């Protein structure tokens, strides 16, 4: 296992969270891994796939993602292939011959291709030793309405009873994890949740106050950085790109209204060229393997915490600092509610979608550290991060002990089963038939909160959810219940402060857009001036090689590898093999070229 890691991938040790699931797969166990983007999920199935004989099938949602991953594996000397609609007839025939001879170890396919009856027949005749389902949250979130074959993946155990299955995703809350474990594995699975925190990413939310000017202010000091600007509509993507290009940035557009040739061309440019900004709808991003995205900017509210996490998680995959800004307006909420209703996904799914949106709104209104609110949603506790707008530029808060106790009392006295709207009605003393039918107009808490209007109570409740005093049941009917922390607040043993209702004038413009101060790459701060000069030359050579190979530069070597090379200054191929991220195949293929650069730098004037 460690030998494969070193020889092929060039790494001396596994990252946290990788080794145990690898051992389980090698022992024939089913595995479900939830790990943050950039934590090395793919390695967990690639290592067992490259040990011993047999074929590993990798189910992936996008052709571009499959092509990139196979290209990266081939550069490492790994026998990997993909079967998709872009493969030529000649290559298709070559790949099938390779599969029948047992030469291919990793085969990437879409769920539609794999779950085709004729493909399944052929696959069952091969020595399939493992199946990996990437972006596994799609099984729960897409289901039969969008890509029905994702639902059909639940039959994999029937078709390949002896092959362990591994599912991987970067974002799945407890409800989604439970759904996937039941559907794909029938409950027979070891689940690893490695944490959701991306500490290198700064988080910020600002009131929407003229999004074009806010976007222009955000990118002002980020010229030359790669980034993604997410927009709710196709038209807005076009306008955003026009704004950025007029300011001297290199901006492209990606949405479903463009023809396939233009979409593919723009995506390829974004992945391979430095300093490109993509203005896109959510149609763009899944599986984009670009490590140096320095920012993600949302011009509109995403649909859920999971989607928000997925989208901003496309930044900073190389571990260097990245900034993420979201604009948030009341009109966004109305649009999102409308989209949910128009989706017609069934009563239960619609109800969950509304509750997930409620939770994202609570995050936007969080009175304290955003990261704590985000991680709490995924079931993690954390300390204030000092890397979000609320930590760095605290908003003015009001003491909310009395309001919090009113909310908790209303929740408790009504049986901890009603949603926010009903609790707000109790607090303002609404005289509705439902309240009268339950006799709740006789409760001592009925009407105690008339000093606030219902929208303010909604905001306070969302902030209590974000702060961990109240739990919102997303899986069932959206009822509110009191947490252990809430019990302390009710007894006066905890503090609660809330942000007055999130409106356009609640936050000053100075805190918008994270910070407009340029931030140097943390990883390069420890390099000497001479090292930095050498690093620049190594990057030039890498770029030239990437163009010749027709692959993104990071597929030749990651920045981390070049930084290690600049520090260690290897003198020969044996020394070069000790540089982080250089396996045998890349050493043989590129080692001499980079040694020439290092020798030229060491030569006397």
* Same domain, yes or no: 185 and 205: no
Q: Which residue has the higher pLDDT, 130 or 289?
A: 130
The pLDDT score that the predictor gives to residue 601 is 60
| pLDDT interval class at 457 (50, 70, 90) | very high
Domain span including residue 8: 2-193
Structural domains counted in the chain: 4
* Same domain, yes or no: 154 and 10: yes
**Is residue 325 packed enough to be buried (19+ CB in 10 Å), middle (13-18) or exposed (0-12)?**
buried
* Same domain, yes or no: 178 and 209: no
Q: Is 508 inside any structural domain?
A: no
* Same domain, yes or no: 475 and 545: no
| CA 149/CA 366 separation, integer angstroms | 38
Sign of dihedral through CA atoms 8, 527, 318, 537? negative
Sign of dihedral through CA atoms 550, 555, 561, 563? positive
Among the candidates 160, 175, 193, a domain finishes at 193
User: What are 371-380's pLDDT values in tens digits?
Assistant: 998 998 888 8
* Same domain, yes or no: 569 and 461: no
* Same domain, yes or no: 257 and 384: yes
Q: What is the CATH number of the domain that holds 436?
A: 1.10.10.10
User: What are 482-504's pLDDT values in tens digits?
Assistant: 999 999 999 999 999 888 765 43
| CA 119/CA 116 separation, integer angstroms | 5
Q: Is 504 inside any structural domain?
A: no
Average pLDDT of the residues of the chain:
87
* Same domain, yes or no: 439 and 531: no
Radius of gyration, CA atoms only, the chain:
26
DSSP state of 226: E
Q: Is 501 inside any structural domain?
A: no
* Same domain, yes or no: 323 and 369: yes
| CA 248/CA 275 separation, integer angstroms | 11
* Same domain, yes or no: 231 and 362: yes
| CA 354/CA 339 separation, integer angstroms | 10
* Same domain, yes or no: 207 and 189: no
Tally the C-alpha atoms within 13 A of residue 245's C-alpha that lie toward its C-beta: 11
Asked if residue 136 has pLDDT above 90, the reply is no
| CA 25/CA 21 separation, integer angstroms | 6
Among the candidates 193, 211, 233, a domain finishes at 193
**541: nearest Cα among 524, 562, 520:** 562
Tally the C-alpha atoms within 13 A of residue 532's C-alpha that lie toward its C-beta: 9
User: What are 79-117's pLDDT values in tens digits?
Assistant: 999 998 888 899 999 999 999 999 999 999 988 899 999
Q: Please give the model's pTM, rounded to 2 decimal places.
A: 0.72
153 three-state secondary structure:
helix
* Same domain, yes or no: 440 and 374: no
Q: Are 445 and 438 in contact (CB under 8 A)?
A: no
Q: What angle do CA 360, 364, 367 make, to 5 degrees?
A: 125
User: What are 546-562's pLDDT values in tens digits?
Assistant: 888 888 888 899 888 99
CA distances (Å), 396 to each of 72, 194, 390, 506, in order?
A: 49, 35, 10, 8
The pLDDT score that the predictor gives to residue 502 is 54
The pLDDT score that the predictor gives to residue 435 is 95
Q: Encoding tokens for residue 169?
A: 């995703």
User: What are 511-527's pLDDT values in tens digits?
Assistant: 443 444 444 455 565 77
78 three-state secondary structure:
coil
Q: What is the CATH number of the domain that holds 138?
A: 3.40.50.300
Q: Are 166 and 30 in contact (CB under 8 A)?
A: yes
| pLDDT interval class at 475 (50, 70, 90) | low
Q: Is 517 inside any structural domain?
A: no
**295: nearest Cα among 215, 375, 384:** 215
| CA 304/CA 73 separation, integer angstroms | 33
Q: Is 10 inside any structural domain?
A: yes
Q: Is 279 inside any structural domain?
A: yes
Among the candidates 193, 216, 235, a domain finishes at 193
Q: Is 357 inside any structural domain?
A: yes
In the chain, what percentage of residues exceed pLDDT 70?
Answer: 92
* Same domain, yes or no: 244 and 382: yes
Asked if residue 296 has pLDDT above 70, the reply is yes
The pLDDT score that the predictor gives to residue 591 is 93
* 201-207 vs 55-59, strand pairing mode: unpaired
Q: Is 503 inside any structural domain?
A: no
Q: What is the CATH number of the domain that holds 550?
A: 1.10.150.80
Q: Are 300 and 369 in contact (CB under 8 A)?
A: no
């Amino acid at each position: 296992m460690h030998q494969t890691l070193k020889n092929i991938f060039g790494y001396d040790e596994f990252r946290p969270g990788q080794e145990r699931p690898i051992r389980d797969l090698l022992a024939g166990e089913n595995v479900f891994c939830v790990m943050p983007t950039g934590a090395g999920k793919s390695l967990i199935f690639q290592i067992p796939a490259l040990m011993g004989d047999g074929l590993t099938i990798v189910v992936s949602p996008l052709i571009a993602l499959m092509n990139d991953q196979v290209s990266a594996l081939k550069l490492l000397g790994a026998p990997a292939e993909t079967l998709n609609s872009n493969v030529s007839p000649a290559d298709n025939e070559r790949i099938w011959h390779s599969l029948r001879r047992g030469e291919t170890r990793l085969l990437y396919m879409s769920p539609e291709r794999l779950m085709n009856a004729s493909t399944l027949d052929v696959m069952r005749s091969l020595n399939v030793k493992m199946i990996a389902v990437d972006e596994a949250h799609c099984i729960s979130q897409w289901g039969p309405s969008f890509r029905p074959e994702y639902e059909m993946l639940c039959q994999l155990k029937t078709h390949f009873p002896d092959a362990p299955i591994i599912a991987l995703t970067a974002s799945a809350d407890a409800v989604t994890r439970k759904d996937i474990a039941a559907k794909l594995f029938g409950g027979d699975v070891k689940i690893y949740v490695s944490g959701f925190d991306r500490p290198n990413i700064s988080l910020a939310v600002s009131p929407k106050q003229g999004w074009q000017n806010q976007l222009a202010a955000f990118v002002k000091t980020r010229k030359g950085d790669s980034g993604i600007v997410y927009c709710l509509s196709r038209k807005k993507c076009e306008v955003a790109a026009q704004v950025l290009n007029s300011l001297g940035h290199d901006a492209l557009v990606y949405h479903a209204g463009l023809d396939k040739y233009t979409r593919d061309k723009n995506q390829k440019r974004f992945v391979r060229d430095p300093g490109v900004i993509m203005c896109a709808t959510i149609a763009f991003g899944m599986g984009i393997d670009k490590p140096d995205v320095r920012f993600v900017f949302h011009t509109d509210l995403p649909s859920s915490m999971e989607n928000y996490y997925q989208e901003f998680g496309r930044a900073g995959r190389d571990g260097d600092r990245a900034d993420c800004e979201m604009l948030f307006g009341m009109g966004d909420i109305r649009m999102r509610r409308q989209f949910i209703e128009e989706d017609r996904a069934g009563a239960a799914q619609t109800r969950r979608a509304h509750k997930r949106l409620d939770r994202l709104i609570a995050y936007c209104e969080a009175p304290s550290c955003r990261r704590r609110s985000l991680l709490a949603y995924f079931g993690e506790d954390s300390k204030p991060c000092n890397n979000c707008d609320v930590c760095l530029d605290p908003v003015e808060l009001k003491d909310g002990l009395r309001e919090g106790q009113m909310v908790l009392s209303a929740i408790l006295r009504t049986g901890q089963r009603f949603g926010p709207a009903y609790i707000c009605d109790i607090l303002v003393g609404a005289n509705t038939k439902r309240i009268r039918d339950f006799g709740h107009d006789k409760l001592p808490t009925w009407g105690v909160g008339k000093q606030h209007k219902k929208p303010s109570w909604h905001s306070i409740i969302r902030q209590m959810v974000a702060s961990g005093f109240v739990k919102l049941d997303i899986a069932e009917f959206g009822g509110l219940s009191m947490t252990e922390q809430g019990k302390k607040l009710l007894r006066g043993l905890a503090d609660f402060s809330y942000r007055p209702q999130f409106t356009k004038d609640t936050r000053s413009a100075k805190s918008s857009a994270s910070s407009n101060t340029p931030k140097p790459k943390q990883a390069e701060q420890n390099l000497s001036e001479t090292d930095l000069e050498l690093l620049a030359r190594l990057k030039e050579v890498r770029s030239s090689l990437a163009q010749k190979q027709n692959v993104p530069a990071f597929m030749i070597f990651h920045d981390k590898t070049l930084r290690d090379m600049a520090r260690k200054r290897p003198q020969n191929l044996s020394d070069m093999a000790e540089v982080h991220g250089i396996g045998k195949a890349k050493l043989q293929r590129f080692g001499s070229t980079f040694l020439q650069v290092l020798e030229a730098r060491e030569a006397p004037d």
